[in-house]
């Protein structure tokens, strides 16, 4: 399924998620549950900054696969899987394991872009003979 379908399914299935975004390997926005473009840009930027900060904490700047920030008014989760980054906001006191499971399922459900198929070269009439 495409990223928009995966985010839509996440929003339908996870009652704890209030907003979600999917990013490609290059950090580009693939899909979002948010209509306001400024809010999408803010969430995207926050997601990338959070992943970068988490990577700086580990030895050798290892790959970050999960980040969770819990605040009084809610939580923010980031999951990186299969070259995709999915981030979500929740209300207060979310069930962390369930939210992470839902985000991983969303990330895994996003199809990788199909490589462009190369057209076969046609044989000239001279080659066919």
Q: Any idea what the Cα angle at residue 62 is, between residues 49 and 97, rounded to 5°?
A: 70
Mean pLDDT value across residues 110-126: 61
Among 5-14, 22-31, 112-121, which stretch is predicted with the lowest mean pLDDT? 112-121
* Residue 22 DSSP SS3: strand
Residue 95 pLDDT: 93
Strands (E), the chain: 17-23, 29-32, 66-71, 74-81, 84-90
**3-112 to CATH, choices 3.40.1260.20, 3.30.450.30, 2.40.50.140, 3.20.20.70:** 3.30.450.30
Structure confidence by residue, pLDDT tens digits, 34-62: 999 999 999 999 999 999 999 888 777 67
d(CA 65, CA 113): 21
């Amino acid at each position: 399924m495409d990223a928009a379908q995966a985010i839509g399914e996440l929003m339908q299935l996870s009652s704890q998620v209030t907003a979600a975004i999917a990013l490609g390997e290059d950090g580009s926005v693939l899909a979002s549950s948010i209509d306001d473009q400024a809010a999408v840009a803010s969430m995207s930027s926050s997601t990338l900054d959070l992943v970068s900060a988490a990577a700086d904490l580990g030895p050798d700047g290892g790959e970050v696969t999960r980040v969770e920030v819990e605040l009084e008014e809610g939580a923010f989760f980031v999951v990186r899987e299969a070259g995709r980054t999915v981030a979500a906001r929740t209300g207060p006191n979310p069930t962390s394991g369930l939210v992470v499971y839902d985000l991983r399922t969303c990330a895994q459900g996003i199809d990788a872009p199909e490589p462009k198929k190369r057209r076969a070269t046609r044989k000239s009439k001279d080659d066919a003979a």
